[in-house]
């Protein structure tokens, strides 16, 4: 995924032929929001969950933020993750990296704790990650408009946490409510200067080892993800009418790799 942003033109509301092209070489700062797919562990964070803080330690000082260091190979992949490969910011203070990675993602996050129960009392859902950034980071860490990319990857927990949720009777309606909360948070970040966005959809979790042995579960997971991704795509389309936006189809890319894993160096896709 390290090349996802390199050669993509922004889909914006600017007339065809006049759309600004994204120049990765100009990017010096990456701000990230999401879940375990994106989090990196920091010395001021909660081990296995965050770069800085948690719901029980929500605030932090400028000194804590600026002195915080990325702990190498401490992600959900038990190695460096996609954001670290993308930026080349693998360890130490983000400010020491050529492309600075400021990661507010939290492992186990859903979009909104008012819509789905938190995994733990310390979990920071996406909308609160943005609040945390707004209150304690936006005035401290740089985000010049033409040098900053903001990444959003969320939904794997939402689509899984709803599998046995009997309180939801209309899932399409529920996903719409979630997306409204999601893009309200995105708009809040945009209003404070995070103007260039990369959205990533949910991969095919039904093909993970935890689902392969249960066809009923796999089918339901697939339905939730397909619905979520379709509604996400609709909201991205609306948002991109007035904002520089890119999207990466992780769902299609993961399927491509799983369908033909050998060229990518994988020999086991089931366990």
45-66: per-residue pLDDT in tens? 999 999 999 999 999 999 999 9
Per-residue model confidence as pLDDT tens digits over 106-164: 999 999 999 999 999 999 999 999 999 999 999 999 999 999 999 999 999 999 999 99
Task: Report the range of poorest mean pLDDT among 3-7, 21-25, 133-137, 226-230.
Answer: 3-7
pLDDT average, residue stretch 238-267: 96
Rounded average pLDDT over 208-219: 91
**Exposure on the CB side of residue 100, measured as CA atoms within 13 A:** 18
Taking only the tens place, the pLDDT of each residue in 59-107 is 999 999 999 999 999 999 999 999 999 999 999 999 999 999 999 999 9
- Of all residues in the chain, the percent with pLDDT exceeding 70 is 93
Q: What is the pLDDT of residue 18?
A: 53
Q: Distances from the Cα of 124 to the Cαs of 7, 113, 187, in angstroms? A: 33, 8, 19
> In this predicted structure, which of 10-24, 115-129, 137-151, 257-271 has the lowest mean pLDDT?
10-24
Q: What is the pLDDT of residues 218-248, one digit of tens each?
A: 999 999 999 999 999 999 999 999 999 999 9
- Rounded to an integer, what distance in angstroms lies between the CA atom of residue 226 and that of residue 221? 9
- Rounded to 10 deg, the angle between the 215-239 and 171-191 helix axes is 40
Burial class (CB in 10 A: 0-12, 13-18, 19+), 25: exposed
How far apart CA 64 and CA 131 sit, in angstroms, is 17
* pLDDT score at 8: 40
């Amino acid at each position: 995924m390290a090349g996802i942003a390199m050669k993509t033109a922004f889909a914006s509301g600017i007339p065809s032929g006049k759309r600004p092209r994204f120049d990765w070489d100009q990017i010096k700062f990456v701000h990230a929001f999401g879940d375990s797919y994106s989090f990196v562990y920091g010395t001021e964070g909660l081990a296995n969950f965050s770069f800085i803080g948690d719901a029980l330690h929500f605030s932090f000082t400028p000194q804590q933020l600026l002195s915080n260091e990325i702990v190498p190979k401490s992600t959900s992949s038990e190695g460096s993750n996609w954001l670290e490969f993308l930026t080349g910011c693998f360890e130490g203070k983000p400010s020491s990296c050529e492309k600075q990675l400021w990661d507010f993602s939290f492992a186990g996050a859903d979009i909104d704790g008012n819509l789905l129960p938190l995994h733990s009392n310390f979990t920071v859902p996406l909308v609160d990650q943005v609040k945390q950034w707004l209150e304690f980071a936006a005035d401290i860490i740089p985000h010049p408009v033409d040098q900053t990319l903001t990444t959003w990857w969320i939904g794997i927990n939402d689509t899984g946490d709803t599998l046995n949720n009997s309180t939801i009777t209309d899932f399409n309606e529920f996903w719409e409510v979630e997306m409204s909360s999601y893009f309200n948070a995105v708009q809040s970040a945009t209003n404070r200067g995070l103007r260039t966005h990369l959205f990533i959809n949910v991969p095919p979790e039904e093909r993970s080892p935890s689902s392969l042995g249960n066809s009923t579960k796999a089918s339901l997971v697939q339905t939730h993800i397909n619905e979520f991704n379709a509604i996400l795509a609709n909201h991205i389309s609306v948002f991109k009418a007035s904002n520089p936006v890119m999207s990466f189809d992780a769902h299609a890319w993961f399927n491509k790799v799983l369908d033909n894993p050998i060229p990518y160096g994988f020999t086991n896709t089931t366990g």
